[in-house]
Structure 1
């Protein structure tokens, strides 16, 4: 029967690769092999049972019958597809009331992204400094006008430090909080907008190398452009008519003429304006 001492007298097949005959012409295969005579590699090494013919990857273990027990963060028959388990459970950090908009930017120049959040219900912005390894310190708050709705972070006074610009929906203003260094900010300077500013962008629209403020005024159906006058100060807005309830604004060169254009989502009239 060519099985030497691995087989019983009733075995008429040869069990290969250190497989042992279990009688009645069946083989018990060692890890890494399958098939009637254990001559088919299953590439699973010690992670698989004898009847596994697939390779379990990313620390998955074979459960038999060509199925894998998946390690956390992986799915698929061979544990090769990343799934929602790739993210750990959230870590929460306290803000003030009704945080509605946030941006991540390195405001203290340590090459780590910090969190800046507009707290709509408490009339302030919170700054959570990055503590390293994806952790954040408790927020420091800075007063805004009523109902800060949208926040961006841009160096508006060209001093190499990122400043905070916030659209104050309830008081019809935008606030500019200049960076005082080390991730701290001066009290806001406010500039009048039209009714219910809901979105703000900061882009150099007049090609003078100073970023200007563009704001969508939801309640008055227009966008306002506040030109940077230098040193982080801004001129009174010039307004441009939109359709009904502009709620979001972006500024990008859409016609390739090297001049930034304004694109606005008009919530109340179901269109976008360019």
Structure 2
């Protein structure tokens, strides 16, 4: 089901949205939305018009049974365009959608997280190499996983830290 704008300016959905992040995906200086929706196994993109309203949703599949829980926005391949990373609970991986700067994105690239079920992400340069890395918290485990970034849109599992 699509989100619809109501008279109150709210979106209604049965696709079970879990998390939302913002970024300017098309360079118009207005914030756009990226929404993880577990009920429809996709991320939804909505263009912001700068007046509190948004476009209809554009969906990008995260894969059957992926159950995306969390999204984060950064430039992971150093092309100055925003990309979207997603925690896919159901398929035990992290997905990356490379941005093209015009509200469109690549097909999902995936990076395994072992047997863990990722539910949230944090982005930072954890090994001080000036490249973005991903910290992943998973449901049902007592650890944080670190995926090291190579600056080209790819990552490698580095370490599990027990909490």
TM-score between both structures, scaled by the size of structure 1? 0.54
1:29-44 maps to which residues of 2 (within 5 A)? none
1:136 corresponding residue in structure 2: 54
Give the direction of change, closer, same or farther, for the CA distance of 1:142–1:95 in structure 2 (3 Å limit): farther
Residue 108 (structure 1) aligned with residue 29 (structure 2): no
Unaligned runs of 5+ in 1: 1-88, 243-274
Give the direction of change, closer, same or farther, for the CA distance of 1:209–1:95 in structure 2 (3 Å limit): farther
Structure of higher CA gyration radius:
1
Matched residue count:
154
Residue 97 (structure 1) aligned with residue 30 (structure 2): no
Does the 8 A contact of 1:143 with 1:188 survive in 2? yes
1:147-166 maps to which residues of 2 (within 5 A)? 147-166=67-86
Residue 119 (structure 1) aligned with residue 37 (structure 2): yes
Q: Which structure is higher in strand share?
A: 2
2:101 corresponding residue in structure 1: 181
1:208 corresponding residue in structure 2: 129
Does the 8 A contact of 1:173 with 1:197 survive in 2? yes
1:94, distance to aligned residue in structure 2 (A): 5.2
1:167, distance to aligned residue in structure 2 (A): 0.4
What SS does structure 2 have at the residue aligned with 1:185? coil
The CA RMSD over aligned residues, in Å, is: 1.5
What SS does structure 2 have at the residue aligned with 1:158? coil
Residue 227 (structure 1) aligned with residue 148 (structure 2): yes
1:93, distance to aligned residue in structure 2 (A): 3.4
Does the 8 A contact of 2:26 with 2:102 survive in 1? yes
Q: 1:88-142 CA deviation, whole Å, 9 max, x = no partner?
A: x731335561011001211111110011100011110000001232211101000
Aligned partners of 1:172, 1:109: CA distance in 2, in Å? 32
Q: Which has the higher contact order (CA 8 A, sep 6+)?
A: 2
Aligned partners of 2:101, 2:13: CA distance in 1, in Å? 22
Aligned partners of 1:170, 1:129: CA distance in 2, in Å? 27
Aligned partners of 1:95, 1:203: CA distance in 2, in Å? 32
Unaligned runs of 5+ in 2: 1-6
Does the 8 A contact of 2:145 with 2:157 survive in 1? no
TM-score between both structures, scaled by the size of structure 2? 0.88
